[in-house]
């Protein structure tokens, strides 16, 4: 699962692609709660030493979860999940600010 910051509109993630194709890659992002599909051309996609570097635009809300896939029109290059949070990833709690104790 990749973590993105909902305060930013441009995001950068690194992946390990199934194959190294850098031409014609598109990204499809699906909001898991609302099932809204966003199809976007990537800002940049490059493969360096087997690691894919992906830059894309997405306006996300706090605690939103997304599934995404990268494809070249015929084959899937990568499939994964995104979560939007401003919490530190090492201390992430799904119930933060959800329950209050007195």
- Domain residues of the chain, as ranges? 2-91
* pTM assigned to the model: 0.77
Determine the Cα–Cα distance for residues 72 and 13; give it in Å rounded to an integer. Answer: 18
For the chain, what is the mean pLDDT? Answer: 83
Q: Does domain 2-91 have CATH number 1.10.10.10?
A: no
pLDDT in tens, 6-48: 898 888 889 988 887 767 788 899 999 999 998 876 778 888 8
pLDDT at 18: 87
pLDDT of 91 higher than 80: no
Percent of the residues in the chain that have a pLDDT greater than 90, as a whole number: 21
Determine the Cα–Cα distance for residues 68 and 81; give it in Å rounded to an integer. Answer: 6
More confident residue, 91 or 86: 86
> Which token pair is 73?
């029109």
């Amino acid at each position: 699962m990749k973590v993105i910051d909902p305060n930013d509109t441009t995001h950068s993630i690194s992946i390990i692609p199934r194959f190294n194709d850098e031409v014609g890659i598109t990204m499809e992002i699906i909001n898991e709660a609302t099932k809204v599909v966003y199809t976007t051309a990537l800002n940049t996609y490059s493969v360096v030493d087997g690691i894919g570097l992906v830059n894309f635009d997405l306006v996300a809300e706090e605690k939103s979860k997304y599934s995404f896939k990268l494809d070249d029109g015929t084959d899937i290059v990568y499939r994964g999940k995104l979560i939007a949070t401003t919490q530190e990833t090492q201390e992430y709690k799904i119930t933060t600010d959800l329950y209050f104790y007195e």
